[in-house]
């Protein structure tokens, strides 16, 4: 039991109740490295940055085979949880990689502009997240980043579907973008720049897919087109200087909620499943057979009977 608790306490990654968006991936990476340090006792045979959950699980299965498959049930439970964890990692990695690429392409814009990334805003009742808000003279552009590997269809009301062997509903994208525009419009008014035009763009980072759109409420483009599209937006009104752009950017940034959210998985169950499987493979989890305890109780009982008869015989 002490070994189990010691191993669990060594898994410090994802130990908090809530996380900001930027904290999740580093915490996931930390947990994977800590699990690898336990499993690969003799050191890693590949660089640490390439050790992910699939590699850890592969090694655990090899260890289990060498031990006579003693932990099949434990590994079955762990494999299910490891798959969920890996999906979370891939989602985070995909989102951050896609957004990093968008930020790089926005640097190609020729017009003076200010970029705000990963805003969490509210109208006082409902919250929303904006991947990018690009401010230039007279125009505020809301940018939603999509990293889909499947073809996309956006219908007349703005609902997005992923198309492939099956057609899957993704989100009410039009309604989300309209709500974000209303939030930005109110913040512009509060900041004294209410005449700024608002544009909405959904950018797809994968240019190998096909995108069909019947909705007119926002623009769509691939990554390489994004900076030119925003540059071509024409605005009117009060913002004439870069300092004004920074003023409204600072005001909007000050309204960022920067909220923290719980990780969408029972991470304690995952850690316990990992430790239990590892201990079973290593032979630490080997309780004494039930027969041993039963035999001991029978032996004690028989000895007591024998001693009782012996005592009675002597007293006679």
The DSSP secondary structure of 169-180, one letter per residue, reads EEE-HHHHHHHH
pLDDT tens-digit readout, 167-187: 999 999 999 999 999 999 999
**Is residue 235 located within the same domain as residue 130?**
yes
Binning pLDDT at 50, 70 and 90, where does residue 315 land?
A: very low
Binning pLDDT at 50, 70 and 90, where does residue 278 land?
A: very high
**Is residue 68 located within the same domain as residue 40?**
yes
Total domain count, the chain: 3
Q: What percent of the chain has pLDDT over 90?
A: 76
| pLDDT at residue 288 in the model | 44
The CATH number that applies at residue 114 is 3.40.1350
**Is residue 135 located within the same domain as residue 211?**
yes
| pLDDT at residue 234 in the model | 87
| pLDDT at residue 174 in the model | 98
Beta bridge partners of 143: 132, 201
**Is residue 211 located within the same domain as residue 238?**
yes
| pLDDT at residue 284 in the model | 85
First-to-last alpha carbon distance for the chain, in angstroms, is 52
**Is this structure's pTM higher than 0.75?**
yes
pLDDT at 311 over 90: no
| pLDDT at residue 150 in the model | 96
pLDDT at 291 over 80: no
**Is residue 275 located within the same domain as residue 223?**
no
Q: How many CA atoms lie within 13 A of 118 on its CB side?
A: 12
Q: How many CA atoms lie within 13 A of 210 on its CB side?
A: 4
């Amino acid at each position: 039991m002490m070994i189990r608790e010691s191993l669990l306490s060594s898994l410090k990654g994802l130990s908090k109740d809530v996380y900001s968006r930027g904290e999740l991936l580093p915490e996931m990476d930390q947990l994977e490295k800590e699990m690898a340090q336990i499993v690969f006792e003799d050191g890693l045979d590949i660089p640490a940055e390439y050790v992910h959950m699939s590699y850890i699980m592969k090694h655990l299965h090899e260890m289990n085979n060498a031990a006579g498959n003693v932990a099949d049930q434990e590994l079955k439970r762990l494999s299910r949880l490891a798959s969920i964890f890996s999906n979370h990692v891939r989602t985070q990695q995909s989102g951050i990689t896609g957004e990093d690429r968008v930020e790089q392409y926005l640097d190609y814009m020729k017009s003076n502009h200010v970029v705000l990334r990963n805003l969490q805003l509210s109208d006082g009742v409902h919250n929303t997240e904006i991947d990018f808000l690009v401010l230039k003279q007279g125009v505020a552009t809301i940018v939603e980043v999509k990293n889909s590997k499947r073809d996309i269809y956006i219908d007349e009301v703005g609902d997005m579907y992923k198309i492939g062997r099956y057609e899957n509903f993704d989100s009410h994208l039009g309604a989300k973008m309209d709500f974000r525009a209303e939030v930005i419009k109110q913040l512009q008014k509060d900041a004294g720049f209410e005449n700024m035009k608002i544009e909405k763009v959904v950018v797809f980072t994968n240019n190998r897919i096909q995108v069909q759109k019947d909705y007119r409420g926002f623009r769509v483009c691939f990554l390489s087109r994004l900076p030119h599209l925003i540059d071509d937006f024409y605005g009117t009104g009060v913002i004439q200087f870069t300092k004004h752009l920074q003023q409204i950017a600072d005001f909007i940034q000050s309204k960022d909620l920067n909220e923290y959210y719980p990780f969408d998985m029972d991470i304690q169950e995952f850690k316990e499943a990992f430790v239990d499987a590892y201990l079973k493979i290593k032979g630490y989890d080997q309780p004494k057979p039930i027969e041993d305890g039963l035999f001991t109780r029978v032996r004690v009982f028989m000895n007591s009977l024998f001693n009782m008869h012996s005592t009675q015989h002597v007293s006679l």
